[in-house]
Every structure is written in structure tokens, then in C-alpha cells.
Amino acid sequence: MSVTSVGADARPAQWRAGLGRLAAGSRAGLGRLAAGVALLTAVALLPWLSGNDPALTVLRARSADQDPTPAQLAAVREQLGLDEGPFTHLVHWLGGLPRGDAGTSWVSGEPVLPQVTAAFAVSFTLMLGALVVTIAVAALVSARTLYLGSRRRLHRRRGATGAAVLAALPKFLLASLLATVCGVWLGWFPSSGWEGPSSMVLPALALGVPSGAMIGGLLDQALPAAFHEPWARTWHAYGFTSGHIARHALRRTLAGVLPQLLPTVVALVGGAVAVEKIFNIPGLGRLALDAAIAQDLPPLQTATLVLILLGITAGLLIQALRRALLGPALRDGALPALHAPALPRRRSSRWAAGACAIALLTLVIAGLLRDPLHVDTAARLLPPSAAHPLGTDSLGRDLLARLGHGALRTVGVALAVTAVCTLTGLLLGMATQVGAGLTEAVSTLPAVLAGLLTTAVTGPSVWGAALAVCLVGWTPYAAQAAALLEQERASGHMLASLSIGAGRGYRLRRHLLPAVLPAVLRNALLRLPTTVLVLASLGFLGLGEQPPTAEWGRLLSENQPYVELAPWAVLGPACALVLLSVLAVSGTASGRSGPRRTADR
């Protein structure tokens, strides 16, 4: 066969591959468009779904009038055109966007676009600062594994206790501590407001440290598999420098961890509501929350659209960066499979996990023997003592009792929500074209906004809050599953399986799921304390668990204003969350097996 005929035969195959990529891109674009339209429609329905009179809510937001007259309500309805319905408002709003007109605020009467633009600039700057902190913390968490693995001295598995502790730190609690210590007591940085670069330091630390621990923990778990690949052993034997090996191992594993930046860091633009309130930062998340509470539809819709566009843009950039890191091997199906080595655990990590389990059980059992609802106003905010081992809260209730009685409800609801989010993310991650657009659109939306939408239908309850978290909490797992599946499908052994006639079911059971499930489950358990805190933030805003129910996240939210006066009021539930996180990470480490083996590898 001549060279000309070979080239002629190759061109149709290249054309077919190009057409396939074009069709996949079109489906992904349609998925992004459908997700954006669905979210904007849901937001447009909020005033009508809530069951409250939108005119009454807007009028109260304007003048705080608790008992307006029917004539006043009728005037507001006529002014805002509320009788026309939500879809007419949505069409008018969309029609003004090409002209740069996002409408006027129903509450203040001012143009919406300048407000949203200024708030987005603040939140985007804060996100960049948090991203720098995230990368620095992730580098510190994974530095030891990177150093030892590049020198072929990685003989034991790390317990990841430090990363678990940092990842479990409540962002709003960390923000309060930083504002009090570094802002008020020491005066190093501003503790409130947004005046310049120095105002960004403390909130960026509060947001970036837990996020960096999360990303660093996932990277630290993935690096041993890269150093276990044959190329790493060969390069070390041929005398390549450790720095050269470390860079290539980092490039190999970053492709799988990089999608976590989308739901973990980019979502801070809309999801940093609590931190923005503590530091009095006029960000986009705070603007969206205030507009949703006041049912001020034009700024809420505009903020939602900005968040959707940000998520889609960031998703496309991360996807392009992933493919640049993996190179032509991703396109040509020549990626080597990552096999996690069977490294023994350190004995100290087992002792630490056992100590955490004993401490947590002791706290829970001791708390169950006490009354969590007994109020003693004469014993408000007492420090730890023999009578109250963890102290008392602002109403004089025993914190140990509330911690013990809230354990089952807290862990049970968080586990149920995590299981639903993990399964949903896994299924949507497998639907690559449709799931990618939906993941990008939803990843930047605050859970608080989802909570407002669900509460409008279900009313405030713990299960309404759980449903709200399920609506947005699946995005990290979908992004991770989609990235790992893309890499697994491009590996050499998948082509070998196809060449011997392996069916779709066989490839799913023996290749795809074993490559994805362990990493996704480790990610889910590492995020378990974060789920508790998101549920707590919804309860704190009156959208979730209602008082006087004893629940760990609610204990943190209720006692956060007293952190300077009585730090022990938040120490107990914060330590319980840290213990839970360490146990979750230890469980995933103990359940990790050695290299996966299949019949055709």
C-alpha cells in the first residue's frame, strides 16, 4: 500500500473523529444552555413559590412597615407588574440584557447592573486571593509525599490527619477567630470592610485554608499511584533528577484533581456569604442572599446569571488546562492506568484513629446522659467545669448534653445527603456531555439560594435543607467522576479490552467503576464535615433545622457570636467535627486496597 493511499484512508478517520468531537461539544453546549435556562426560571418563580405576597415582602424591605394597607399593596403590585406573572418578568428582563439593561431594583429603585458589577468585582478579587491560599496550603499538604515519592522513598501511607483537621475547620468560625485575633487584638489587618488589598488577607485565609486542605488531601492520595507507574521507576533507574520526576508526577495527578477547583474555589464567589457578613464585605453572594430574602427579583436574577456564566467559563478553562496537562495521550488513548500501591499504614495513624473514635464515643455517650433542653439563665456561658465539662451556651444549656443528643441527627442527615450527592454526581459524571454543562452551571450557585428555593415549596425543615444541599452538593463528585472516566477511557488497557470484544457492561464493571469509585468515595468522606456545616448555615438563616434541636452545625452557628467572650462555646462542636473528619479519612485509608487487577491487564 502506498503512502498516498494510507493518507487517504487516514483522512476519513480524522474527519469522523473531528465530527464526533464537534457533536460532543454541541451536546455539551446544549446542556449548558438548558441548565442555565432552568436555573434562571427557578429563580424567577421564587416570589410566587414562596406563598408570601411579593408586594408585602418588597414593601417591608423598603419601609419596614409590618402592617401595610391594601391600597399600598395594590400600588406596589401595579408598579412592579406582579399580576403579569413570573414568565412575563423573565422575558422582559432577558430582553433588556442585550441593551445592557438588567432592570431596576424593586426595593431601592436603582439600576441593577452597577450593583452586580461592583459586587462581582469584589467577590472575584476575593476568590483570586482564596485561590492563592488554596494552592499554597495544597502544596504544603502534599509536599512530603511529592518529596519522598520522587526519591523512591515512599514506603508508608500517610494518615492524612492534618489535612482532615484543616478541611473540617468551619469557614465562618475561622473567619471569626482571624477577625478577632489578627484584626482586633493584634491590628495586623482590617477586621471589617473592603478598603484595599489588606482587607483581602483575612477573608482569603478563612476561605482558602479549608479549601486548600481539601485539594491537598486529594492530591496527596493520588500521588503514590503516579510514582508507582513504570515510567517513574525507569526514570529513577536512568538517573533523572528527583525534581524532573516530581514535576511529571504532579502533572499526571493534577489532571484528576484540577476539576475540584471548580466547585471548591470558584463557588466561593457566590458561596462565601457567611464570611462576607463577618468581614462586612459587599460581595456577590451577600447581594444575592439579601435580594432573595427581600424577593427583589432583578438583582437576584442578574447575580444568578453572572454566577452561571462564571461557572461555565471556569469549567471550560479547567477542561482546556486538563487536556493540556495530559497531552496527546488523552486523545490517542495512550494514557497509562494509575494503580495505587499497597503501602502499609503507619502505626501512629492507627493509634490516632482509635483515639479519635474513643474520644468521640465518650463525648456522645456522656452527653446522652444529660438533659439538652434544660435552660438555666443564671449559668450562661460558664467555662468548662465538673458540672459542665464543655461549658454552657448563651441560654445556660449544657453543651455536652446538646453535643451528645445532636450526634445521631447530625451524622445521620449528613451521611444521607452525602450518599445522595455522591450517587447523583457519579451518574451525571458518566453522562459526560450533559453532565458537564450542568456541573459548570450549578457549581457556583450558593447552597443558600437553593435553600430559599426549596424552602419556598417545603417550608423550613431539616429535610428541606437536606434537599437544598442535594441540589447543589453533587457537583464536586460529578466533576471528579467525569475527569477520571475520561482518563480511564483513554488508557491503553481499555483499547485492549475493546480489541478482544469486551462489552459495555464488562468495561463498566471491571474498568470504569473500579477506577472511579474509590477516589470519589474518599472525596465524599473528606467532605462530610463540610456537609454538616452547609446544613448548619441553612439552619442559621432559618431555612433548616429549627431551634431548640441540638445539632452540631447549629451549635456552632448559635454560639459563633460569643467566640471572643466564651471560646469554649464553639470548641466542643468544632472538635467533634474534627474527630469525625479524622475518622472518615482513616476509614477510607484502611479500606484502600492495592493495585487493581483485571483479566486483561
Buried b / exposed e along 280-297 (16+ C-beta atoms within 10 A): ebebbbbbbbbbbebbbb
Asked if 581 and 502 sit in the same domain, the reply is yes
Compute the distance between CA of residue 259 and CA of residue 514 in angstroms, rounded to an integer.
Answer: 19
In the DSSP assignment, the letter for residue 183 is: I
Cell of 91: 422575558
Which whole number is the average pLDDT over 481-502? 72
Average pLDDT for 158-179: 76
Question: CATH number, domain at 316?
Answer: 1.10.3720.10
Domain assignment present for 124: yes
Q: How far, in Å, are 140, 141, 212, 217 from residue 166 at the CA level?
A: 12, 10, 9, 10
Res. 152 pLDDT band, cuts 50 70 90: confident
Q: Mean per-residue pLDDT for 25-47? A: 74
Q: How confident is the model at residue 494 (pLDDT cuts 50, 70, 90)?
A: low
Please give the pLDDT value at position 205: 92
Angle at 17 between CA 14 and CA 18, to 5 degrees: 85
Amino acid 434: pLDDT? 64
Long-range contacts of the stretch 20-26 (C-beta < 8 A, 24+): 24/432, 24/433
User: Do 160 and 223 fall within a single domain?
Assistant: yes
State whether 290 and 429 are in the same domain: no
Over 80: is that where the pLDDT of 64 sits?
no
In a domain, 352, yes or no: yes
The answer on 407 and 528 residing in a single domain is yes
Model pLDDT for residues 198-239, shown as the tens digit of each residue: 888 999 998 899 889 888 888 888 888 888 888 888 888 888
For residue 536, tell me if it sits in a domain.
yes
One domain for residues 141 and 276: yes
Answer whether residue 460 is part of any domain: yes
pLDDT of 117 over the 90 cut: yes
- 504 lies in a domain? yes
Reply yes or no on whether the pLDDT at 257 is more than 80.
yes
Least confident of 105-114, 117-126, 537-546: 537-546
Give the pLDDT of residue 301. 86
Task: Name, of 117-121, 449-453, 498-502, 566-570, the range with top average pLDDT.
Answer: 117-121
| Same domain as 360, residue 276 | no
Question: What is the tens place of the pLDDT at every residue in 271-284?
Answer: 677 788 888 888 88
| Range(s) of the domain holding residue 438 | 347-589
- Biggest CA-to-CA distance, the chain: 96
Match 454538616 to its residue by C-alpha cell: 532
- Same domain for 437 and 488, yes or no, is yes
Q: Element (H or E) spanning 54, and its range?
A: helix 54-63
> Are the C-beta atoms of 482 and 439 separated by less than 8 Å?
yes
Positive or negative, the CA dihedral 262, 263, 267, 268 is negative
pLDDT digits (tens, 9 = 90+) for 338-356: 666 766 666 666 777 788 8
CA 220, 224, 230, 232 dihedral sign is positive
- Indicate left, alpha or beta for 116 from its phi (over 0: left) and psi (-120 to 50: alpha): alpha
Better pLDDT: 447 or 575 = 575
pLDDT top residue among 292 and 127: 127
Residue 385, judged by CB atoms within 10 A of its CB (0-12, 13-18, 19+), counts as: exposed
Q: Which three cell numbers stand for residue 26?
A: 454541541
In this prediction, residues 180-197 reach a mean pLDDT of: 84
C-alpha–C-alpha distance, residues 325 and 321, integer Å: 6
Residues in the chain: 601
**Which residue, among 62, 63, 57, 55, has the nearest Cα to 84 in the 3D structure?**
55
Do residues 438 and 316 share a domain?
no
What's the pLDDT at 457? 72
Q: What's this model's pTM, rounded to 2 decimal places?
A: 0.80
Those residues whose C-beta lies under 8 Å from the C-beta of residue 278, and which sit 6 or more positions away, are 172, 175, 176, 179
Q: What is the pLDDT of residue 3?
A: 41
**Tally of domains within the chain:** 3
Which region, left, alpha or beta, applies to residue 160 given φ > 0 means left and ψ of -120 to 50 means alpha? left
Question: What are 511's three cell numbers?
Answer: 474498568
16 has pLDDT over 50: no
pLDDT-wise least confident of 372-381, 454-463, 556-565:
454-463
More confident residue, 337 or 533: 533
Q: What are phi and psi of 79, to 5 degrees?
A: -65, -45
Q: Helix (H, G, I), strand (E, B), or coil: what is residue 111?
A: strand
**Is there a contact between 85 and 49 (Cβ–Cβ < 8 Å)?**
no
Query: pLDDT tens-digit profile of 129-147?
Result: 999 999 999 999 999 889 9
Shared domain check, 550 and 528:
yes
Q: Is the pLDDT of residue 31 over 90?
A: no
In this structure, the number of other CB atoms found within 10 A of the CB of residue 404 comes to: 23
In a domain, 3, yes or no: no
pLDDT digit string (tens) for 343-399? 666 666 677 778 888 888 998 899 988 888 888 888 888 889 888 898 898 888 999
Whether residues 292 and 380 fall in one domain = no
Please state the rounded mean pLDDT for residues 19-43: 68
Q: Three-class SS of residue 143? A: helix
pLDDT > 70? residue 464: yes
Report the C-alpha gap between 93 and 89 in whole angstroms: 6
Same domain for 315 and 173? yes
**Is 31 domain-assigned?**
no
> Is the Cβ–Cβ distance between 175 and 275 less than 8 Å?
yes
The three-state secondary structure class of 562 is helix
Band of residue 26 on the pLDDT scale cut at 50, 70, 90: low
Q: Which region among 212-216, 406-410, 593-597 has the lowest average model confidence (pLDDT)?
A: 593-597
Give the Cα separation of 569 and 391 in Å (integer).
7
